[in-house]
Amino acid sequence: MYRILHLFRIEKFTDNFLRFIFDNFRDNYHEFWIYGVRDSSIRVNISLYKNAKCIRNIIKKLKGDEIYKFDKIIYHGIFDYEIIEYFFWNRKLLGRLYLYFWGGDKFYVQDKMKNFRKKYVIRNVHGLINIIPEEKRYMQKNYNPKGRFFCVRYGRTDFEILRNIKAQNKKEKGYIAVQIGNSATKTNRHIAILRQLSKFKNENIKIFAPLSYGDPIYAKAVIKEGKRIFGKKFVGITGFIKEAEYYQFLNNMDISIFDINRQQALGNIFSLLYLGKKVFLKDNSVLAHYFRTENHCIINTMHEIEQMAFEEFIKFPKEYQVSNEDRLVQMFDLAPLMNGIIFLMRN
């Protein structure tokens, strides 16, 4: 039996992943060291999971001898430099370390020494895990790692909730609802999208920007620009929305736009395509390639908006909606996900 340690920063999907592992993988011993700042938007009941521990000082915990008792160490979300530095100075652990990248954590920072240590750790760990396969090329080009590559998603989109929402009779809104981005981060390029959509400001349209997570200063800037261009037709969402309510929000959208380069907003995009929404992604991005080329979903790209009249912008035929729903069901068949994690645990 393998003893596997998960270093897991507390996040909005922490609870779902804990439940998934403890419900499905009992052949090995899994222990979670959960760390980080918990805000009001995150709901995790650590006490429900026997081998999950909330760690106040993760670096102090790492410096103890306990970590050497584990056969595998999976570090989820490579954002904390202090943890990278710990493994840099404790290189004997690199042979049992797996780095599970969430997207933005793969980039370099504005510090040569930090980049040197990060590159050393990434290059010498036993395995690197990405959520979508398109990330592998970036890792090879920038880090030239010696370890094995894995591609494993986090859990599943809750299709039971989505199916129930789809079955409900939709109320007429009286306008076209457009979602831009998924969080208050600059990588969403909200302001560029708002300006691109400004040609439709006199149409029967309403723009929604989820800004609950991320940088509150950036969120204010987005809201200011959205109000300047669209007035009352712009809605910046800064309050926390529960999961079921957020799925309902997504179902109320007609169009969603994600002008992002990296792996981000996957949960939003999976759900929206299943719900039959028209989705625009950044041209030549890893997301556009993943959904259109790898998984044969019908998506649009940002440059198309420039040439579109409003009628074309909002049009998304029923057959496209049905096709995307079928593709998403195939993508989220539990078997490939289980097989991916089993392969990871055994290698």
CATH of the domain at 11: 3.40.50.2000
**Residue 339: band (very low, low, confident or very high) from pLDDT cuts 50, 70, 90:** low
Q: Is the pLDDT of residue 337 over 60?
A: no
- Does residue 306 share a domain with residue 208? yes
- Does residue 292 share a domain with residue 183? yes
pLDDT, mean of residues 165-189: 86
pLDDT, mean of residues 168-180: 86
CA distances from 25 to 33, 259, 298, 337 (A): 17, 36, 34, 12
CA 281 to CA 196: how far, in whole Å?
14
The pLDDT, as a whole number, for residue 342 is: 56
- Does residue 308 share a domain with residue 179? yes
Main-chain dihedrals φ then ψ at residue 31, nearest 5 degrees: -125, 135
- Does residue 263 share a domain with residue 149? no
161 by Cβ neighbours in 10 Å (0-12 / 13-18 / 19+) ranks as: middle
- CB atoms near residue 219 (< 10 Å): 22
CA 138 to CA 129: how far, in whole Å?
13
pLDDT digits (tens, 9 = 90+) for 1-55: 789 999 998 877 787 788 878 877 777 789 999 998 766 556 677 778 888 998 9
**Residue 256: band (very low, low, confident or very high) from pLDDT cuts 50, 70, 90:** very high
Minimum mean pLDDT among 38-47, 127-136, 179-188, 286-295: which range? 38-47
Which distant-in-sequence residues (6+ apart) come within 8 Å of 105 by Cβ?
77, 78, 79
pLDDT, mean of residues 89-97: 96
Q: Is the pLDDT of residue 284 over 90?
A: no
Query: What percentage of the chain has pLDDT greater than the value 70?
Result: 91
Q: What range does the domain containing 236 cover? A: 159-331
CA 162 to CA 334: how far, in whole Å?
16
